[in-house]
Amino acid sequence: MNTTTCFAPAHILLPAERIPLEQWGCIACDQFTSDREYWQRAKEAADGSPSTLNLILPEVYLEDGDADARVEQIHATMADYAQNVLTRAVDGFVYVERTEQSGRVRQGLVGRVDLEAYSYRRGEKCTVRPSECTVESRIPPRMKVRTGASLETPHIMMLADDPGCTLVEPIGAHKSELKKVYEGELMQGGGHIKGYFIKDDARIDRALRALEALASPEVFSAKYGTDAPSLLFAMGDGNHSFATAKANWEQIKKTLSPEEAANHPARYALVELENVHDSGIEFEPIHRVVFGVDTHKAIAWLSEKLSEQNGETEMHLYGSKAERDDAMAANACSKCHLLPFMIKEGYGYFKVSDPAAQLEVGTLQNALDIFIKETDGATIDYIHGEQVVDELGRKDNNIGFILPNMGKSAFFKTVIFDGALPRKTFSMGEANESGTILSAARYPNNFPENKIRGGGGSMLRAPVGLYLATA
């Protein structure tokens, strides 16, 4: 394990070549949580073939009362697949290319991460940090599936801030020199996936040296203007899966000697590492609509709250969107946050001169959270697409808020200075593209416990990855 970067190659288990990827791969368990029809279609798509669908517990079923039986069946299926399905193994990294429905191609590098370099506790300055606040109540259901499992089924994507494209992209430029270990279509329109095996020491060493450079305190300080402890990786997807892996490891670690803990497989988690500056990664803003309020009283309240939380705040209202947009352009500044909104009577914006948060969405959400909590009858929804927000926001007793795109460098800056991204900051891709699971990891029998690490996704859609054995 490279102590500087906490990222290393792994032992990778692959399904037999005869297994179709479209049947084998399955999206993350926390997608389509209100859509049983999706999961029924997934079952039909698998059509009795070996599938990672049989290795996860979709959250849509958590309230059915049969979770224990489902977990027991998952563990039995794992034992079967370990013997009869996961018949290929490689040692190294896997370079992954995924073509999404939009045509965007995303590149990633699959390996293992040392959980000792990570904490989901707010405020801790670790090398690996969450990008959203961890809801600890989401951990126990995942722990339930892990306990007693013999295979790892991870769904975790991490991001590196590599504007020079020194890590993943050079590998992709020479993929023709690598052995392709899988390629195929993914279930229910999930896109197209290719995986290439990286085993030679020279390529692995170049990748690790690129990460060491990114982790350098000098590089970090120059990039972000702070002498705070360096952040190398921020979670892009699978925040709660990764948190569960950490919680699981902390429990197991209590039973081990220092020598056993140094190399126990549960100490590591399989991830796919991507460059946030990858041209295939696009952050799309998620807007807000507030329903059921006296709009003028709400705007006045929010203006006051924004001033209280941040400093001087101005509110301006215009008869048309064009007038509002022209005024915003004339009043823009490098430090201030402009928060456009619409109500039935017209279009306006708040100008927050000295925002406490890094992102506009943080400035707005900090005020909205309190407003919704304190206002009877007020509700909020998170909306994709400006046109929909405009239509809803112009109705009686509603307010629509438009948020800007988040710059890619702002992703890391927010995690560094604010600790986590605000809820529903952005999305990327479609739900049916969320983290398709393709393979699994086996723990050695000589360790005292076998655990599963796996789980769900967030609004940033993870690419397809492999399950890796971490021993």
pLDDT of residue 116: 96
Give the tens place of pLDDT for each residue, 337-387: 999 999 999 999 999 999 999 999 999 999 999 999 999 999 998 888 899
The predicted model gives 76-93 an average pLDDT of: 92
Higher pLDDT residue, 274 or 421?
274
123-127, 134-138, 300-304, 311-315: which range is least confident on average? 134-138
Cα R_g (the chain), whole angstroms: 23
Is pLDDT at 111 greater than 60 in this prediction?
yes
Higher pLDDT residue, 270 or 304?
304
What pTM value is reported for the model?
Answer: 0.80
Largest Cα span, the chain:
72
Higher pLDDT residue, 301 or 12?
301
Is pLDDT at 16 greater than 90 in this prediction?
yes
Q: Which residue is associated with the tokens 């941040």?
A: 310
Token pair recorded at residue 298: 């709400």
Answer yes or no: are the C-beta atoms of 429 and 100 closer than 8 Å.
yes
Is pLDDT at 436 greater than 90 in this prediction?
no
pLDDT of residue 143: 85
Answer yes or no: are the C-beta atoms of 104 and 282 closer than 8 Å.
yes
* pLDDT band, very low/low/confident/very high, at 450 (cuts 50, 70, 90): very low
* pLDDT band, very low/low/confident/very high, at 445 (cuts 50, 70, 90): very low
| Range 284-404: architecture per CATH | 2-Layer Sandwich (3.30)
Is pLDDT at 462 greater than 80 in this prediction?
no
Give the tens place of pLDDT for each residue, 250-289: 999 999 999 999 989 889 988 999 999 999 988 888 899 9
Angstrom distance (rounded) from CA 392 to CA 425: 20
In the chain, where the domains are located = 7-282+413-469, 284-404
pLDDT of residue 49: 92
pLDDT of residue 102: 82
Report which of 419, 353, 470 is spatially closest to residue 125, judged by C-alpha positions: 419
The predicted model gives 99-104 an average pLDDT of: 87
First to last CA, the chain: 11
